[in-house]
Chains A and B, each alone.
Chain A
Amino acid sequence: DTGVSQNPRHKITKRGQNVTFRCDPISEHNRLYWYRQTLGQGPEFLTYFQNEAQLEKSRLLSDRFSAERPKGSFSTLEIQRTEQGDSAMYLCASSLSVGANNSPLHFGNGTRLTVT
């Protein structure tokens, strides 16, 4: 499978615990994005990387959220001290950016987080 891969698919955690999600993008894609989607809404941008550099962060990304892409390949998204409002689907996407041209985003199947 050469698509975007996300793990785990589901995560149930208690309020206050830390969680970490992993995303493996399409191998030749240099951009990697994290989005959050709640029921009945479209995906909302959180952050993105070009290679290993984190270039943009949304105001939705509170201090409890941190994302890394240490070698420019896979990425992790960590949420510290989870709150019930963090319950959502966390989507990863990747694209190929060359100069001013950016291919469309291809999404993984997401990690569904439930905070109890």
Chain B
Amino acid sequence: QKEVEQDPGPLSVPEGAIVSLNCTYSNSAFQYFMWYRQYSRKGPELLMYTYSSGNKEDGRFTAQVDKSSKYISLFIRDSQPSDSATYLCAMIRSGGGADGLTFGKGTHLIIQP
């Protein structure tokens, strides 16, 4: 079992829908959680960075962390075709060592106009 599990998709939804992307993890030492968006042939772009359990909102994006269930989510409201990309979850162990940044495989999201 990998430390971070993420469904690779593809996930295809119509424009305007609410999108839910998820990751599960097995190591309770993970304390910092990030979501990155990656367009084809580009580097990952940081979307959200959270530490504690609960919700964090930024515009159309909401990140949710449930440490008790070892489950994190990213919600996208009013989805746009420009949101079509691969979304990577990433997490760091407490202490912040570089080897602790572990990525999921990424979910390929397609927003249909």
Contact = CB atoms under 8 A, between A and B. Distances in A.
B99 A42 contact: no
Contact of A43 (B46, B49, B103): B103
Interface in A55-95: 55-56, 58, 91, 93
Interface residues of A, number: 28
B91 to A, nearest CB: 11
Interface string B83-113: 0000010101001111101011110000000
B59 interface: no
Contacts of A56: 97-99
Contacts, number: 59
Interface string B37-69: 000011111100100000000000000000000
Interface centre among A44, A58, A101, A109 (most CB of B within 10 A): A109
Interface in A102-116: 102, 104-110, 112
Contacts of B99: 45, 56, 58
Given A40-B8, A40-B105, A42-B104, A100 B96 contact: yes
Interface in B2-46: 4, 6, 8, 34, 36, 41-46
A41 interface: yes
28 contacts: A6-B43, A33-B98, A40-B105, A41-B106, A42-B4, A42-B6, A42-B90, A42-B105, A43-B44, A45-B99, A45-B101, A48-B98, A55-B98, A56-B98, A56-B99, A58-B99, A91-B44, A100-B95, A100-B96, A101-B96, A102-B96, A104-B34, A104-B49, A105-B34, A106-B46, A107-B44, A109-B41, A110-B42
